[in-house]
Amino acid sequence: MSTRFGRWLFASILLLRGKSTYERVRLIRSAFLIALVMIPLVLALIFMDGMMRGITDKYILLQDGHFQVYAREEIDGDLGDIDPTIVSADYVVSGYGIVYSKDATSEVRIKGVDASYFNDRRRGQLTFTDEPFGSETGRLASVILGKVVAERLGVEVGERVAFMVVPDSSAMVVRPVLAVVSSLFSSGYHELDSSLVYMDRTSALRYFPKDKNAYTEVLVQSEASDRLDGIASNVISQSHLDAEYATWDEFNTTVYQNFITSRQVILLVFIMILVVAGVYVASIAQELVQDSMQSIALYKTLGARTGQIGRAFFAAVMVVTVSGMAIGVAIGLLVGSQLGFVMEWLGESGIAGLQYYLLDFPVVVSWSDIIFICFTMLVISSFTVFLSLGRIRRISPLELLQQD
């Protein structure tokens, strides 16, 4: 009998039997407002995860690789035979310098590569004005500048630029270099486009000694990115190398830690927003109890227990909460799936303040984060609703004597 009463009371509260149209609309409005809280949270999660994934991919593919093996000579053989998840292994040389034209200067990282370095995955992250290293430059070094650097220097393809490079930080010997701009690139990320310069590897090896600046840069498949240490150790052992290695998060510690810190701060802000949303959910329970005070008093007079009544109200409020959350998450995912088109439009808008952000990033749905947000919302709401429903204990059967 008590179970049947509990189900009946739950249905009566949720369906608002015998209640006015205003009270029915109010419950629907409450679910809608909960959905409005969830929509921006889901969109923010998609934006945050997509941008961080996009920036990480830019650094890995264009600047550092998944891991670097510090063998100063080129590794013999196809590393894909050692581990099939290895996509490419490129012998590169890297250093720093200052590039200048007659009008301006810019500090850059100079990366010596050959044309094969720009494989399909890297070309997917870049747009070139001309084929990389496709033109002869004689004895002069051939360089590919980022469009941001080129605009800062005021140079175009075919023009000459000069470098001051420091090949050995211990010796601090500055060497002048004259180079020809063979192409310009754009990655869509201002930070890389303003600091990275590609030089043909043969020329770079003349200015940066390979015993200090050369290494093999390795890319792996995305699904293997969580076992980089094992792959790198396997490459070194099977290639019989006496060399060390480092993964991308180790030589980009600052960037990696900034990502982690930013993510933690954003999730903390989300939790604070959910606390406010939980207080609102508690107000829904308070309103339902306030509107049903005489009904509750009648149920107690007829022998219903406070626990039965409380559970029915609790279940009804949580159904409204879960419904609102589900609607909000669904709309957020639907709108988030089109976020790429919105970012592309913003990128083409030419708004100056957006140039420092990566707008060309994949839409990433982190289900673990969405589940975490939903679970946190349910926990906070359950706690606040439980506190609000404590008022049911204080409702006396004497409430029946009160007039509406």
Mean pLDDT for 385-396 is 78
Give the β-pairing of 127-128 and 175-186: antiparallel
Q: What percent of the chain has pLDDT over 70?
A: 81
Mean pLDDT for 332-359 is 67
Query: What are the distances in angstroms from CA 171 to CA 168, 284, 343?
Result: 5, 72, 46
Angle at 314 between CA 310 and CA 317, to 5 degrees: 140
How high is the pLDDT of residue 288? Answer: 78
pLDDT in tens, 60-89: 888 888 999 998 888 887 888 888 999 999
pLDDT in tens, 84-134: 999 999 999 998 888 988 888 889 999 999 988 999 889 888 889 888 887
Q: Is 324 exposed, middle or buried (0-12, 13-18, 19+ CB in 10 A)?
A: buried
Give yes or no for a contact between 36 and 212, defined as CB atoms under 8 angstroms apart.
Answer: no
Residue positions counted in the chain: 404
Both tokens assigned to 182: 């063979």
Question: Which H/E stretch holds residue 284?
Answer: helix 253-291
Question: Residues of 172-195 as b/e, b for ≥16 C-beta within 10 angstroms?
Answer: eeeeebebbbbbbbbbbbbbbbbb
Strands (E), 22-117: 67-69, 86-100, 105-113
Sequence-distant (6+) residues with CB within 8 A of 26 are 287
Which of 187 and 256 is assigned the larger pLDDT?
A: 187
Both tokens assigned to 353: 């303040």
How high is the pLDDT of residue 266? Answer: 84
Give yes or no for a contact between 402 and 298, defined as CB atoms under 8 angstroms apart.
Answer: no
240-244, 295-299, 345-349 — most confident range: 240-244
Both tokens assigned to 220: 């792996």
Give the β-pairing of 67-69 and 105-113: unpaired
Whole-angstrom Cα distance, residue 29 to residue 394?
Answer: 28
Angle at 74 between CA 69 and CA 76, to 5 degrees: 100
Give yes or no for a contact between 261 and 94, defined as CB atoms under 8 angstroms apart.
Answer: no
How high is the pLDDT of residue 1? Answer: 44
Band (pLDDT 50/70/90 cuts) for residue 365 is: confident
Q: For 201-205, 219-223, 312-316, 348-352, which range has the lowest pLDDT when averaged over its residues?
A: 348-352
Picking from 49, 87, 64, 79, the residue whose alpha carbon sits closest to that of residue 250 is 64
